[in-house]
Amino acid sequence: MNFHSSRKPLRKRAALLAAAGLLGGLLAVPAVTASAGTPEACSAADADIYRPPDNPTAAPGAVVACRRVDSLPMVVGGPPLDAWKVQYGSTDGRGRRVSVAGTVVVPHKPWTGAGERPLVAFVPGTLGIGPQCAFSKQLAGQYQDAYEGPNIAALLNAGYAVAATDGQGYMDGQVHPYASGAEAGHAALDMARAASRVPGTGVSPDARVGVWGYSEGGSGSLWAAQLARSYAPELDVVGVASGGIPADLKQVAGNLDGQFFAGFLVDAFIGLSVTHPDMPFDSILNDSGRKAVKDAESLCAAGTVSRFPGARIEQYTEGGLTLDQIYALHGTDGTTWGDAVAANKLGAGIGVPGSGARYEIGFPVLQYRGLLDEVIPARTAGETRRAYCAAGISTRWTTYAGDHLTSDPHAIGDVVAWLGDRFDGKADTGNC
């Protein structure tokens, strides 16, 4: 089995089991419909948005293809809007050109605040690892298993434009590199770059930019924060909000193994095998493991959770390898699985501008979590917050009286208000 190029789909995140109930009532509300009048330049067929080039050459943020979206059924309670699906250029963690899909959404109501209409780069939470689970498809009603339409609606109601990336690996025939930080951060930043280059959006390249994500999106948004200064220095990023952050994958994996949300762990190893094709993966799977990979790639969020509750990684490996035993395995370049996992830890090598740190962050960061979060250990969240505070980065910390799923919608109002203050130029010294 070739884990780098030809895999089928999956989807992931425990959120949807409860999210099905949470959104079930919301989805009964009439869908927001986009208006007519798309420029002819955005007339690609829907299939073209998801067909990856054989040899991607587009520069980061360059628009490869775009098309008008007639309606966004997932954006419940939002204002009249215009929306576009976009394929755009990005780079993977090794600096190679790739194509990514996403959605740009702009409310009809004219922006009356200071300067240009602000832009929020939105990174969705866990949806699955197969292309059928792409956020842009779900927003447009092609598949209904997502749960963050209300987040998008709240941003639009505040007057902001939204650039929502699918993330890398959701093009036809691909597998999403779930849990890979550089890929997630690049995709988010390049989606923000692409928004102003889509004909008809009216988004300015000089717009103030905020980034927001929860759970997998929390990791992706915080990676965007760490990479923004070096990777996309022309973007005017004024604040990043990240919730439910799986910042230390080893700690999160240990928490998930054998637990209800073990499907996330299955997805993570598959995702990391995509970005690390030289690591042993196929060779350590038993028959159950090969079946698990096939199932994971064919499911989305709720299906992944229901397929793997209580699963342990030993069930899927030859000789019943534990997590620690897998971490010790070497790839052909001498890198271990432990190295590959540790490279995605957030909060390492960070500092303020001028510090000489690998990742310099010159804007405020909001971090938040649910006090009853059963997916992300409290230790992980606490260590990440302390690392940011110790580095001198303006960091605001907020908690909610909810679990992993419910803390996402609970935080919407606070996050939109916090981003609004950043767009208004208000200072935030944090609460370290």
Closest by CA position to 79, among listed 117, 105, 116: 105
Model confidence at 322: pLDDT above 60: yes
The H or E element containing residue 263 is helix 262-275
Beta-carbon contacts of 48 under 8 Å, excluding residues fewer than 6 positions away, are 65, 67, 87
Q: Structural domain of residue 328, as residue ranges?
A: 249-342
- Among candidate residues 342, 364, 381, the one where a domain is terminated: 342
Structural Rg of the chain based on CA atoms: 20
What are the pLDDT digits (tens) for 250-287?
Answer: 999 999 999 999 999 999 999 999 999 999 999 999 99
What are the pLDDT digits (tens) for 178-234?
Answer: 999 999 999 999 999 999 999 999 999 999 999 999 999 999 999 999 999 999 999
**Percent of the chain having pLDDT more than 90?**
88
* 1/253: higher pLDDT: 253
Same domain, yes or no: 231 and 317: no
Whether residue 52 lies inside any domain: the answer is yes
Whether residue 211 lies inside any domain: the answer is yes
**Percent of the chain having pLDDT more than 70?**
91
CATH number at residue 270: 1.10.260.130
Helix (H, G, I), strand (E, B) or coil at 234: coil
Report the pLDDT value the prediction gives residue 163, as an integer from 0 to 100.
98
Total length of the chain: 432
Report the pLDDT value the prediction gives residue 40, as an integer from 0 to 100.
52
What are the pLDDT digits (tens) for 48-80?
Answer: 999 999 999 999 999 999 999 999 999 999 999
What are the pLDDT digits (tens) for 334-372?
Answer: 999 999 999 999 999 999 999 999 999 999 999 999 999
Helix (H, G, I), strand (E, B) or coil at 291: helix
Whether residue 110 lies inside any domain: the answer is yes
Q: How many domains does the chain have?
A: 2
Per the CB < 8 A criterion, the answer to whether 170 and 98 are in contact is no
- Among candidate residues 342, 376, 405, the one where a domain is terminated: 342
